[in-house]
C-alpha cells in the first residue's frame, strides 16, 4: 500500500465535449470524482492524497474558465469542509497564494487552519501550483537563510531542500496517477516524484472513482521498487 498518492486529474474538458456539454460541466463532474476518490482513499486506508486542482499554467485559459474553477473550489470548501473536519481530514494547500483572489485565498486558509489538528487522513490540494515555482520559492527561502548567516552553503542538503518545499510535512509520493490519456507530469511535484511509480490511465477524470483507484494501487503493488539499488537477491 502506498503512503502517499498524487493525482493529476486530467480530462474534464474532453469529457464534457464528448458528452456535448460545456467544459464547466466537466469540471463540476470533476469535483464529484474528487469526492468519490477521497472517500475511496479513506476507505482503503491511504494516509496522504495530493490532487492537482489548478496549475500555475492554467492561468493561460480563458478568464471565464479560470473563474469557474475558482468558483468550484469555493463551493467545494463551503460544502465539504464541515464533513471533512468531522472525518478527521487535515487539509494542506500547496502552491503560491500570489495572484489568487482574496476570497479564494481566505477560504483556502480557513480550510487549512480549521483542519490543522486532524490526523486521520491528509488531503493536499495543489492549487495555483507549479513544481518549478515551488522549487524557486524554496530556493529563495534557503538563500535568505544564507544571507542572514543562519546557514552555510555547504549545509544545503536534499533534506534542507525538502524542508523548504510546500510539502515539507508530507512523505514523497509513492504513486502518481494521471487520468486523461496524456503521459506526462506537467510540473506536478517534480522534486518529490523522483522515485514515484507512475500510472497513466485512459479514463477521463469525471469517470474516475473507487475502481480506478483500486486498480492503480494494485498496479503499484505489483511493481518492484529499487530506488537505484539492485533487484532483491541479485547481488
- Of 12, 58, 152, 211, which is the active-site residue? 58
User: What residue number has its CB nearest to ligand FPP?
Assistant: 13
d(CA 175, CA 44): 15
Measured from the CB atom, the residue of 10 and 174 that comes closer to ligand FPP is 10
Look up residue 195 and give its three cell numbers: 522515485
CB-based burial label for 170 (10 Å; 0-12, 13-18, 19+): buried
Measured from the CB atom, the residue of 93 and 164 that comes closer to ligand FPP is 93
> What x/- string results for residues 8 through 47 when contact with ligand FPP is judged by CB under 6 A?
-xxxxxx------------x--xx--x-------------
Beta partners for residue 4, in sequence order = 48
Look up residue 29 and give its three cell numbers: 463532474
Q: How far is the CB of 215 from ligand FPP (least distance, A)?
A: 19
Is residue 43 a contact partner of residue 88, using CB atoms and an 8 Å limit?
no
Measured from the CB atom, the residue of 5 and 34 that comes closer to ligand FPP is 34
d(CA 180, CA 55): 16
CA dihedral 123, 109, 178, 189 (to 10 degrees): -100
Q: Give, as ranges, the residues between 144 and 203 that touch ligand FPP (CB under 6 A).
A: 180
Measured from the CB atom, the residue of 9 and 216 that comes closer to ligand FPP is 9
Q: How far is the CB of 117 from ligand FPP (least distance, A)?
A: 22
Q: How far is the CB of 151 from ligand FPP (least distance, A)?
A: 36
Q: How far is the CB of 144 from ligand FPP (least distance, A)?
A: 32
- Nearest CA to 7 out of 65, 53, 59, 67 is that of 53
Q: Is 117 among the catalytic positions?
A: no
Beta partners for residue 172, in sequence order = none
User: What is the set of active-site residues?
Assistant: 10, 58
Using CB under 6 A as the criterion, which residues of the chain lie in contact with ligand FPP when the complex forms? 9-14, 27, 30-31, 34, 53, 58, 69, 72-73, 76, 180, 205
Amino acid at each position: 500500500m502506498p503512503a502517499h498518492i498524487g493525482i493529476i486529474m486530467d480530462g474534464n474538458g474532453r469529457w464534457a465535449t464528448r458528452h456535448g456539454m460545456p467544459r464547466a460541466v466537466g469540471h463540476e463532474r470533476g469535483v464529484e470524482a474528487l469526492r468519490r476518490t477521497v472517500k475511496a482513499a479513506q476507505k482503503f486506508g491511504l494516509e496522504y492524497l495530493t490532487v492537482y486542482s489548478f496549475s500555475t499554467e492554467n492561468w493561460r485559459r480563458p478568464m471565464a474558465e479560470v473563474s469557474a474553477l475558482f468558483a468550484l473550489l469555493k463551493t467545494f470548501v463551503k460544502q465539504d469542509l464541515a464533513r471533512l473536519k468531522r472525518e478527521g481530514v487535515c487539509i494542506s494547500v500547496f502552491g503560491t497564494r500570489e495572484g489568487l483572489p482574496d476570497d479564494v485565498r481566505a477560504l483556502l486558509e480557513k480550510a487549512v487552519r480549521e483542519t490543522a489538528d486532524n490526523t486521520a487522513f491528509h488531503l493536499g490540494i495543489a492549487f495555483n501550483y507549479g513544481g518549478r515555482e515551488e522549487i524557486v520559492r524554496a530556493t529563495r527561502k534557503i538563500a535568505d537563510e544564507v544571507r542572514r548567516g543562519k546557514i552555510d552553503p555547504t549545509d544545503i542538503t536534499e533534506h534542507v531542500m525538502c524542508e523548504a518545499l510546500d510539502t515539507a510535512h508530507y512523505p514523497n509520493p509513492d504513486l502518481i496517477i494521471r487520468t486523461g490519456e496524456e503521459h506526462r507530469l506537467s510540473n506536478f511535484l517534480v522534486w518529490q516524484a523522483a522515485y514515484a511509480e507512475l500510472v497513466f490511465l485512459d479514463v477521463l477524470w469525471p469517470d474516475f472513482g473507487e475502481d480506478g483507484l483500486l486498480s492503480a494501487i494494485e498496479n503499484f503493488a505489483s511493481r518492484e521498487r529499487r530506488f537505484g539499488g539492485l533487484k532483491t537477491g541479485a547481488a
